[in-house]
Chains A and B, each alone.
Chain A
């Protein structure tokens, strides 16, 4: 039984290690940000899960196991949330996945959100140049709904 557990934990550990290599290789070699993010999540969830469960098998039913489980839980929660926020920030900064029409992304980004929560750039622009300006020859104004011209 103990041998079986050992072998199982070794397999888990090693496969976790190998997955981490795969994931890191992807982060290193894939051509653009969003593909790299996709690759990074392999380690964040599956790789970490495998390594930690391998260790949990070794530790048995102890406090250590509980702590390792906590670590896994935290990693699963935080890394995914961080990835979400990262992608959102990147989109707001004007970095789009390849092969996707920026207009579509932009429309998607500002459509789903209520006015107060539109993405950073829209707000920054508005803040700088208040909309209603009765001037002749005004600076290029972002219209309320359509989104500003992205510089």
Chain B
């Protein structure tokens, strides 16, 4: 039963992966990575029951904590990049104008 669930999750991970590869916008990728993180957490928990090594729930916990940090970081840097592009555009405008 665990194996069946694991396979279903793997299939879901595969589809998410395709979305992460295809984009098209940065936000699609972030969404896909975030969702991939969630499925990994589930996958790790399921596999830990499958192998009867229940220590691994610790790893699932770490993932749940840290993949969130990763997502926020990505969002922050998307914003920074956005502002940077705006600034570059402004610089160019200024060079054209005078």
Complex contact flag A–B (Cβ < 8 Å)? yes
A28 sits at the interface (CB 8 A)? yes
Query: In the assembled complex, which residues on chain A have CB atoms less than 8 Å from the CB atom of B12?
Result: 17, 20-21, 23-24, 43
A98 sits at the interface (CB 8 A)? no
Query: In the assembled complex, which residues on chain A have CB atoms less than 8 Å from the CB atom of B87?
Result: 124, 127-128
Give, as a whole number of angstroms, the nearest-CB distance from B1 to chain A: 5
A75 CB contact (under 8 Å) in B1, B25, B64: B64
Flag if B75 contacts A44 (CB, 8 Å): no
Query: In the assembled complex, which residues on chain B have CB atoms less than 8 Å from the CB atom of A51?
Result: 5, 9, 42, 45-46
A90 sits at the interface (CB 8 A)? yes
Query: In the assembled complex, which residues on chain A have CB atoms less than 8 Å from the CB atom of B8?
Result: 14, 17-18, 20-21
A17 CB contact (under 8 Å) in B9, B15, B64: B9
Residues from 29 to 83 in A contacting B, C-beta threshold 8 Å:
33, 36-37, 40, 43-44, 47-48, 51-52, 54-55, 58-59, 64, 67-68, 70-71, 74-75, 78-79, 81-83
Q: A20-B9, A47-B42, A139-B93 are in contact. Are A33 and B2 (CB under 8 A)?
A: no
Q: A25-B15, A48-B38, A86-B27 are in contact. Are A71 and B4 (CB under 8 A)?
A: no
For A, the interface residue count at a CB cutoff of 8 angstroms equals 56
Q: Which A residue's beta carbon lies closest to that of B94?
A: A139
Flag if A27 contacts B79 (CB, 8 Å): no
Q: Which B residue's beta carbon lies closest to that of A56?
A: B45
A95 CB contact (under 8 Å) in B13, B14, B25: B25
Q: A10-B1, A36-B28 are in contact. Are A71 and B15 (CB under 8 A)?
A: no
Q: A25-B15, A28-B15, A82-B71 are in contact. Are A14 and B5 (CB under 8 A)?
A: yes
Q: A21-B8, A55-B49, A120-B83 are in contact. Are A36 and B31 (CB under 8 A)?
A: yes
Known: A37-B31, A52-B42. 18 other contacts (CB 8 A): A17-B7, A21-B15, A24-B35, A27-B31, A28-B16, A36-B28, A44-B34, A48-B38, A64-B57, A67-B58, A71-B41, A71-B61, A74-B68, A82-B68, A86-B75, A89-B27, A89-B75, A151-B89
